[in-house]
Amino acid sequence: MRRIYYRFPQRIDLSFAMGMPFNETLKYVAGLDNAESTKKTEKELVKVKTKVKIAIDRATFGDITPDVLRPGAITEAVDLQISILLLALRGGGKVPIGNEVFFLRLTDKVSRTDIDIAKEGRGEGLDALDMKNILLGASK
């Protein structure tokens, strides 16, 4: 069964192939849900929080549940929404400095998975290449 979001952006910012089968790639990306990391920028320390949602019907996204990750539960393609919240860690606490939303479409190509990335909006901050680096585990 495909899980496609009918309002997926027509303009794709970046496409690449992940060298893992579809179900493994889906589990890997789902594993980024509620992930937190920190990185140092030129000015300050930044906490990065990631939230992953899956298309539950053609019009909305919802939380990823274990039954969705069962082998064979999703085939061919799936759309995901990934929100990345950036918080500056300053002396007074955490200050939000960015909230980026990306749409991902994972497409099954047997031994690999094609991933299309589209960013919501046009603002400054993270871009599709940064999202690819997050997916591949590289830091900016």
How far, CA to CA in Å, does 79 sit from each of 29, 42, 45, 65, 129?
A: 11, 34, 32, 15, 18
Q: What is the mean pLDDT of residues 132-137?
A: 88
DSSP 3-state of 111:
coil
- pTM of the predicted protein model: 0.88
Q: Which residues contact 127 (CB under 8 A, 6 or more apart)?
A: 13, 119
Q: What is the mean pLDDT of residues 25-44?
A: 90
Domain regions of the chain by residue span: 14-38+52-81+101-136
Q: Is residue 140 predicted with pLDDT exceeding 50?
A: no
The pLDDT tens digits of the residues spanning 77-128 come to 999 999 999 999 988 889 898 899 999 999 999 899 999 999 998 777 889 9
The pLDDT score that the predictor gives to residue 139 is 47
Per-residue confidence at 138, pLDDT binned at 50, 70, 90?
A: low
The pLDDT tens digits of the residues spanning 49-91 come to 999 999 998 899 999 988 888 888 888 999 999 999 999 998 8
The pLDDT score that the predictor gives to residue 103 is 96
